[in-house]
Chains A and B, each alone.
Chain A
């Protein structure tokens, strides 16, 4: 069953939600779209071709998070209360929601759930908006997703012009969009056309047949060194990536707090060991690591690519490195002719 939400009713709908939860939606600040607390009357940014600059993974894995505080004199530890008030993230794109679902395979496992992640995840509802006009940097269809995919979402809205088509996937999604008129046949056909057009705009970024095996076979190729030549080794691609999740735990001794911060395999110090040995001593190994993690190692633990094609790394790399081009070049590198680095 699909439903219809006239755009003129959106504001009222959000107001209703705001009674039970804190609503976040993409709004413009500092010149670009960010997920910010929504208040009645705020202007939303829902139909830009590209997604927000900063990824919504921060709602579940904050860039800096206090894990515990301690008092050295008294030898006491205190865990944070983790009282997360309910949140509704409205306007998240399918690539970002899929990324949250992928990160659930890391942080929300049965065997070893991360309580900090779980506390936030349980209190958050994700309402997506599909991408009618994907950006030139988008490539979700190349990694097994689509501009209207459902993964990770409680509901999805498709912009039909005067109204949204609403698809509800979970009980929480149903509760937020109760009492809506059903979508009629026209709406459904229109949504179907919109989806086809959007997907047609997305060129195939790279071929993924046997990609994992091929990458494993060219592990020792000199290709990685070529990419690494211009790579700055900053953390932009990893920090803006909605699926990167590596973190560092530090004791801020001057504040008696143990903190978890996002970390990045692109930094030299990431893999630097206390002995001084670094198993990834140059940018070549680190560039390789990033690409292999996303397109090979992720498959080993989740049977899916660790990339949802959101395009942020492509848009904001200061030296114009494009992950799509890098994978294409990797695919084109013959696995027989490997050169030892």
Chain B
């Protein structure tokens, strides 16, 4: 048990024994060494199994929308998760007073795919030690550099520190470099439209429409997703180019002004599709055009939900970028 895990358990225990919350949402190390599971603790006795480590890859804010707003929830949140919670609060998906956010300044999530690419898939255990990650497989032990194993979204992370946690459990980490995300998008924008289109098609064509990206995303909580509309049927449901491309385009677009670039979608994808190049671009556009950043507070409406006559001169020019 690490020092951080001890702190988290202590807080969680207090929240449960003092009946401050009905459930504590955190992680638990179950059976798969590379995949801790989201866990839902309702009794203090269960907390022995609470885990927190760099392989905790899911955005826990995703589970908020499963609960009625009256449910009092204690939740472990890293930087992106805190912003996702804020984004959900902006959309009135829960009540802040019913949430206790246990903030964890984040060192970044380890991408299990990068681990297995280096060690093979027969991983028995993973141990984090300062800047290293020690991986034991059936055959070997590997000592890998943490920085190289970080998930790409974490490498580009701007805000590792939870901004509105009730309790901060750990030393704040330095803010991220805003140029990293922009650089990646700019590289894509330097390509010709044909090249960008080819890249887009390349990433979209191995999609298997499992919708893991959607289900892992805290902001995709629609009871009926646009892909399930039948009257009229805008999107094909199969793995045809039209269907897969429409899925990627529209899901990303529905995230405009809502996505915190947490990367949970990419981590969930079984086909290793790097779809954050779509949402990151939209986030940058919102920052550039409207000086808007998702989740920095729990009140500010995203640009598409803001109707203002102040806009009127932006869009009159035709055929030009706005």
Contacts and interface: CB of A to CB of B under 8 A. Distances in A.
Interface of A: 30-32, 48-50, 53-54, 63-64, 135-137, 201, 229-230, 232-236, 239-240, 248, 250, 252-255, 259, 261, 264, 267-269, 314-322, 324-325
B202 to A, nearest CB: 9
Contacts of A314: 32
B79 to A, nearest CB: 20
A137 B123 CA distance: 10
B186 to A, nearest CB: 24
12 contacts: A136-B121, A229-B38, A234-B215, A235-B212, A254-B233, A259-B236, A261-B209, A261-B238, A264-B210, A267-B211, A318-B267, A319-B58
Contacts, number: 123
B122 interface: yes
A48 B121 CA distance: 9
Contacts of A269: 224, 228
B117 A135 contact: no
A318 B58 contact: yes
B120 interface: yes
Nearest to A320: B35
Given A236-B210, A240-B270, A319-B58, A49 B121 contact: yes
Contacts of A250: 233, 237-238
B122 A135 contact: yes
Contact of B271 (A53, A137, A232): A53
Given A235-B212, A236-B270, A230 B40 contact: yes
Most chain-B CB neighbours within 10 Å: which of A201, A248, A264, A316?
A316
A321 B236 CA distance: 30
Nearest to A138: B122
Nearest to A251: B233
Given A49-B122, A232-B216, A322-B31, A63 B228 contact: no
A234 B210 contact: yes
A63 B239 contact: yes
B177 interface: no
B267 to A, nearest CB: 7
B273 to A, nearest CB: 9
Interface in B33-83: 34-40, 57-58, 62
Interface residues of B, number: 45
SS class, residues of chain B in contact with chain A: loop
Interface in B7-27: none
A31 B270 contact: no
Interface of B: 30-32, 34-40, 57-58, 62, 113, 117, 120-124, 138, 206, 208-212, 214-216, 223-224, 228, 233, 236-240, 243, 267-268, 270-272
A64 B270 contact: no
Nearest to A227: B37
A292 B93 CA distance: 34
Given A53-B270, A261-B239, 20 more contacts: A30-B271, A32-B272, A49-B120, A49-B122, A50-B121, A63-B208, A136-B124, A201-B138, A230-B37, A234-B214, A234-B215, A236-B270, A240-B270, A250-B233, A250-B237, A252-B233, A252-B238, A267-B211, A316-B270, A321-B37
Contacts of A50: 121
A316 B270 CA distance: 6
